[in-house]
Structure 1
């Protein structure tokens, strides 16, 4: 497993408010991204999007095995 260091300052604004995040790991960045995706697309569309990503990476893993 690779060790990743992230230095980011994320500021998101939408009509209902704003938020700021400073993720320090890939996991924290993923959580922030998923949260923003759900806010933008809604729960069901965000789940569909993430399922597509999961299927693509599962296929990549099978092809490289």
Structure 2
């Protein structure tokens, strides 16, 4: 598995306020992205968007998992 580190300073602004984030890992970046997506699209819109992204990589992950088992 590859280790990825992230050096980012994210500032998000919307009508109700603003937030600053400094993710240090892909997992933290994903949580921030999902949080912002839900604020923008609502829960159902964000779920549909995430489902589309996951479908895109579904076969790639299966191929990797099958290779790892051998």
- Normalising by structure 2, what TM-score? 0.84
Superposition map of 1:26-65 within 5 A: 26-62=26-62
Higher helix share: 2
Q: CA RMSD in A?
A: 1.4
Partner of 2:4: 4
Structure 1 unpaired stretches of 5+: none
Structure 1 ranges of 4+ moved more than 4 A = 62-65
SS where residue 42 of structure 1 aligns?
helix
Structure 2 unpaired stretches of 5+: none
Partner of 1:17: 17
What does the per-residue CA deviation read over 1:9-47, in whole Å, with 9 as the maximum and x for residues that have no partner?
Answer: 000000000000000101000000000000011100100
